[in-house]
Amino acid sequence: MIAEIKKSREMEPVWPSLLALLAAGGLHMALPDELAFGPHWSLLAVVMVAMVPAQIFHSKGHHQFCKPIGFFIIAIVTIELIISVILLVLAIPRHVETPEQLLLSAAALWVTNILTFAVWYWRLDAGGPHKRNMRDTHTDGAFLFPQMTMEGPCDSKNDQENWAPLFVDYLFLAFNTSTALSPTDVPILSRWAKVLMMIQSAISLAVVALLAARAVNIL
């Protein structure tokens, strides 16, 4: 039974994070010229090209090569996100965007912020997805999920003894961080996680606050 659970975990962690990064690249294409650094298609192209060797290494079991490629992709997406937010800050006082463009750009950056940091949390927590898959249960990590302090979660009977966080758990954490500007049901234990969460909250706060300021004509 444990072997079957480990096998199922090895299949799950790859495609949700890939979809998140592809979605981030697609959202970058929706930004206006004033908020995009370089060609609109550049980020999506970088993500797609870098994913090819990552998928090849993963299929062959060479996880030691997948990890640096994954960090490279998420780092590029994060840099593009921060640059676009800075450009948004500079663009709002100059009124270079129409209200419709402003709303769509802010929404795209807000969603990208969630997807980007969800991948960061998923990739860094407890040594990364591959190391988490090698363990029978998840009892130690940067985030204290409620299931780690209970007799067992209620999703299924097998989860009661073999629970481990999946990408959706980190996506939920990132969504709460961008919405509430703080973790809700998941305490943060590691310093690196606290730093990342502060950065994510700052980006979300900047986008929301600037939208509010623009809405009431403060800027």
Which residue do the tokens 């593009």 mark? 80
Residue 11 pLDDT > 50: no
Cβ partners under 8 Å of residue 215, min gap 6: none
Q: What value does the mean pLDDT take over residues 41-68?
A: 79
Cβ partners under 8 Å of residue 33, min gap 6: 40
Closest C-alpha among 160, 120, 111, 115 to residue 143: 120
pLDDT, position 214: 66
Indicate the SS3 state at residue 84. helix
User: What are the backbone dihedrals phi and psi of residue 117, each rounded to the nearest 5 degrees, phi first?
Assistant: -80, -25
Beta strands in the chain, from DSSP E residues, in sequence order: none
| pLDDT tens-place string over residues 194-214 | 999 999 999 999 888 777 666
Is 204:110 a contact under the CB 8 Å cutoff? Answer: yes
The number of beta carbons lying within 10 Å of the beta carbon of residue 215 is: 12
pLDDT, position 154: 55
What does the alpha-carbon distance between residue 186 and residue 69 come to, in Å, rounded to a whole number?
28
Sign of CA dihedral 203, 209, 215, 219: negative
Q: Where are the domains of the chain?
A: 2-215
Which residue do the tokens 């199922």 mark? 8
Q: Which residue has the higher pLDDT, 218 or 137?
A: 137
Q: How far is CA 55 from CA 5, 51, 59, 70, in A?
A: 22, 6, 6, 10
| pLDDT tens-place string over residues 85-131 | 988 888 777 776 777 778 888 889 999 999 999 999 999 987 777 77
